[in-house]
Structures are given as structure tokens and as C-alpha cells.
Structure 1
Amino acid sequence: MHNALLIAELSLREAIRKRLVSVLIVLSLLFLGFYLYGIYRLELNLNERAVDAGLDGRSATGLSNVPVMYAAMFGMYLVYFLGALMSVLSTVGAVSGDIENGVMQSVIARPISRAQLVLGRWMGFTVVNVVYVALLGLALLAGVYAITGYLPPSPAPALGLILLAVTLLTALTVLGSTLFTTLANGIGVFVLYGAGFTGGILNAIGTFADSPTLATLGRAANIVMPTNALWLGSSYLLQPPVLLEISKAARGANPFFGSDPIPVALVLWAAALAALAVSAAMWRFSRRDL
């Protein structure tokens, strides 16, 4: 474990040396400034409408504040989407990149096992990705609250499900990095991510159209790649009762937001799948001929 932690530390230093952290900070600040300014203008517009209607104020969880609620929800979806991109792009060459540029031969000559190397790479990149997404999500929610006074319900467990999705994607990307070239790995993981999103769409269409076949296909896709299901579970926790009523009345017609809580078994499966992916990556790289 000491060697794995050492590799994790080196992975963090690598991210800083390649200016990954500084680029993320700059781009995240631009994203937050742009999005929160839009919410600020939305809040001003809603206040003007309330004054024109002769209202003294707006309830933070009432129907008059639904646009702000949806804006906060879409903001968190963007955080989830950016986290998914970050997980894949930052980790896509975790092992294969070092093999392709010839660095790996000098690394494995050191007194460290290949399994420890893979574990350390996963730990280092997971820390970077999870911390980035957590800070971005907290900053967005804090900005929305400071501007509008609205805070979605259960933000902590909702953010936890997003972070689990990020952890899973990082683990799958590390596994792919031990099996394929960097380019093939990136394409493969994005296809898996798209399969999870497609499963959410099929499930929504199947529920809305009363098609058991489509709903079953959607649930199967969510089991194979549960990242989208984790987001839907997160979105359910972020919705106040007024939005849940709208979602249930639409019978799941909106594939971006969940109208039902995520099953605990699916959360446990996502965590187990991440652990299995890391274990498989350690086993595969230990037996790979370089």
C-alpha cells in the first residue's frame, strides 16, 4: 500500500506539472461565472414579474420559483457531465500512455509491483477527479443559494451519487488503459457512457409509452453502465416536492431528471463495479507482456 500511495502522489504531481489543475481552475471559474450570471438575470426577471403581479415576494420552494429550481438542476447536470468528461480525459492514458511513450519500462524496473502501480494511478486520478467535481458542485449550489436563496433538498447525498459515478468512470478508464491503446480506450469508455445515457432514454420512453420491452432494455443498460442511473438518483434527491409532482405527472417523459429514488442495490452494484474494474486492471496489467 505504501508503494501505491507513492504512485498516487506522483500522479497528483503529474497533474499539477501538466497544468491540469490550473486549467481546470480557470475554466471552472469561467463556467461558474457564466452560469451564475444567467441565474442572477433569471432571478431579477422573476422578481420583476412578481412585482408586476402585485406579489410581496416569492416562495423559494413554490411554483413561482420553478425556473430557478430547474436552472439549479441543469447546473448540477452540467457538473455531472463535466465530471464524466474529466474522469475519462484525465485518465485515458494512465497506463497505456506510459507504455506508448516508453516510460513504463523504466518505472516497472523499480521495486514496485505492477498491481501497486495500477492501484496508485487509479487512486491519484480519482482524488483529482472527485475533488474537482465536489468543489465545482458545492460552488454552484452555494452560488445559486447566494443569488436566489434557494437550496435543493438533500444536496450532500445527491453530490455523493455524482462522485460515485465519477469514481466508477475513472476505474473503468484505468481498466481500459491496461487493455487497449489510449485512443481505443477513450472511445470505448465514451461508448459505455453513451450506453448508460441511452438506457435512461429507453427507460423514460418505455415508462411514458407503457412499453415493458423498452423499459426492460433501459434497466438492463443501467445495470451494465450505472452512471446515468446514479445521476437520475441524484436528480431525484435534488428535486423539491413541487418538481417531483411535475415529474410524476409527466410519467418520466424527461430523461434528464429522475422521478423515482435509485434502488440501494444499484448504488451498491456501482460501487462493486468500480472495485471490480480496479481489481481487473491490477490483475490484467500484472500479466501483460510489455
Structure 2
Amino acid sequence: MRNALLIAELSLREAVRKRLVSVLLLLTALFLGFYLYGIVRLEGTLDQRSLEAGLDGRSLNGASNLPVIYSAMFGMYLVYFLGSLMAVLSTVGAVSGDIENGVMQSVIARPISRAQLVLGRWLGFGAVNLGYVALLSAGLLGGVYAITGYLPPAPLAATGLILLATLLLTALTVLGSTLFTTLANGIGVFVLYGVGFTGGILGSIGTFADTPTLTTLGRAANALMPTNALWLGASYHLQPEVALQVSEAARGANPFFADAPIAAGVVVWAVALTVLAVLGATQRFSRRDL
């Protein structure tokens, strides 16, 4: 385990040396500034309308505050999307990149096993990706709270599910990096991500149109790639009662938000799939002929 942690530390240093961390911090600041400026303008508009209507104020969890509520939810969806993008792009060449540029031969000649190298790569890039998502989530929800006073019902539970989705994508990308070239790996993981998103859309259409076949296909896609199911579970924790009532009235027509909590089995499967992907990556690379 010591060697794996050493590789993880080297991966973090590599991210810093390649200015990945500095670029992330800069882009995160720009994104949050842009998004929160829109929240400031929205809050000012809603306050003005409230005054014109002769109201003393708005209920933070009431229907009059739905624009702020949905803005926070869509903001967190962007966090989920950016975290997924980051998980794939930062990790796509974790192993295959070193093989293609000839660095791997000198690394594995040292007293470190291939399994430890893969595990360390996953830990290092996983730490970067999780830190990015956590920072972005805290900045967005903290900014919305500072501006409007509104905070979703269960932000920690929602953020935890998004972090799990990010960690799962990181593990799958590391696995792909031991199986394919860097380009093929990136395309393959993005296709899997698309399968999960498609599952969410099919499930929504099936529920709204009362079509069991589409609902079953959606569930199958979410079982194959549970990242979108994890986001839908997170969206449930971001909605107060008034937003859940709107979602229930829509009968699943909105594929971005769920009106029911995520099943415990899906969370367990996502954790198991993450572990299986890491174990598969270590086994595959241990037997791979360089």
C-alpha cells in the first residue's frame, strides 16, 4: 500500500506540474463568478417583483422562490457534468499514456508492482477529481446561500452521490486505460456516460407515456452505467417539498430531476462497480505484455 500511496503522490505532483490544478482553480473561479452573478441578478428581480406585489418577502422554500431553487439545482447538475468531464479527461491516459510515450518501461523496472502502480494512479487522480467536485459544489451552494439565503434540504447527501459518480467514472477510465489506447479509452468511457444519460431519458419517457418497455430499457441502461441514476438521486436531495410536488405533477417528464430517492441497491452497485473496475484494472495490467 505504501508504494501505491507513493504513486498517488507522484500523480498529484504531475497534475500540479502540468498546471492541471492551477487551470482548474482558474476555470472554477470563472464559472462560479459567471453563475453567481446570474443568481444576484435573479434575486434582485424577484425582490423587486415581491415589492411591486406588496409582499414583505418570499418564503425560501415556497413557490415564489422556485426560480432560485431550480437555479441551484441546475447549477449542481453542471457540477455533476463538469466533474464527469474532469474524471474522464484527467484520467484517460493514466496508464496508456505512459505506455505510448515510453515512460512505463522505466517505471515498472523499479521495485513496485504493476497492481500498486494502477492503484496509485486511481488514488491520485481520484483525489484531484473529488477535490475539484467538492470545491465546486461548496462554492456554488455557498454562493447561492450567501446571496439568497436558500440552501437545499440535504446538500451533503446530494454532493456525496455526485462524488461517488465521479469516483466511478475515474475507476472506469483507469480500467479502460489498461485495455485500450488513450483515444479509444476516452471515446469508450464517454459512450458509457452517454448510455447512462440515455437511460435517464428513456426512463422519463416511459414513465410519462406509461410505456413499460421504455421504462425497462431505461433501468437496464442505468444498471449498466449508474452515473445518471446517482445524479437523479442527488437531485432528489436538492429539492424542497414544493419542487418535489412539481416533479410529481410532471409524472417524470423532466429527465434531469427525480421525485423519489435513489434505491439503496443502486448505490451499493455503484460502489461495487467502482471496486470491480479498480480490481479489473490491476489484474489486467499485471498480465499485460508491454
Q: What TM-score results when the alignment is normalised by the length of structure 1?
A: 1.00
Matched, 1:115 2:115: yes
1:65-84 Cα shifts (integer Å, max 9, x gaps) = 00000000000000000000
2:148 and 2:94 mapped to 1: Cα distance? 41
1:125-162 Cα shifts (integer Å, max 9, x gaps) = 00000011001101100000000000001000110000
Matched, 1:203 2:166: no
1:70 and 1:120 mapped to 2: Cα distance? 39
DSSP-derived class of the 1:73 partner:
helix
Q: Kindly report which structure 2 residues correspond to 1:160-171, keeping only aligned pairs within 5 A, or say none.
A: 160-171=160-171
**Residue 111 of structure 1, CA deviation:** 0.4
1:282 and 1:154 mapped to 2: Cα distance? 36
1:125 maps to which residue?
Answer: 125
1:53 and 1:150 mapped to 2: Cα distance? 21
DSSP-derived class of the 1:59 partner:
coil
1:3 maps to which residue?
Answer: 3
2:251 maps to which residue?
Answer: 251
1:214 and 1:261 mapped to 2: Cα distance? 20
1:37 maps to which residue?
Answer: 37
2:273 maps to which residue?
Answer: 273
1:141-190 Cα shifts (integer Å, max 9, x gaps) = 00000000000010001100000000000000000000000000000000
**Residue 7 of structure 1, CA deviation:** 0.2
2:179 maps to which residue?
Answer: 179
**Residue 199 of structure 1, CA deviation:** 0.1
DSSP-derived class of the 1:252 partner:
coil
2:212 and 2:63 mapped to 1: Cα distance? 33
Quick one: which amino acid aligns to residue 51 of structure 1? L
Unaligned runs of 5+ in 2: none
**Residue 259 of structure 1, CA deviation:** 1.1
DSSP-derived class of the 2:139 partner:
helix
2:230 maps to which residue?
Answer: 230
1:81 maps to which residue?
Answer: 81
DSSP-derived class of the 1:45 partner:
helix
**Residue 260 of structure 1, CA deviation:** 1.0
1:96-133 Cα shifts (integer Å, max 9, x gaps) = 00000000000000000000000000000000000110
Q: What TM-score results when the alignment is normalised by the length of structure 2?
A: 1.00
1:157 and 1:58 mapped to 2: Cα distance? 26
Q: Kindly report which structure 2 residues correspond to 1:208-227, keeping only aligned pairs within 5 A, or say none.
A: 208-227=208-227
Q: Percent identity?
A: 77
| Residue-pair matches, total | 290
- Ranges of 4+ aligned residues in structure 1 off by more than 4 Å: none
1:190-249 Cα shifts (integer Å, max 9, x gaps) = 000000000000000000000000000000000000000000000001100000000000
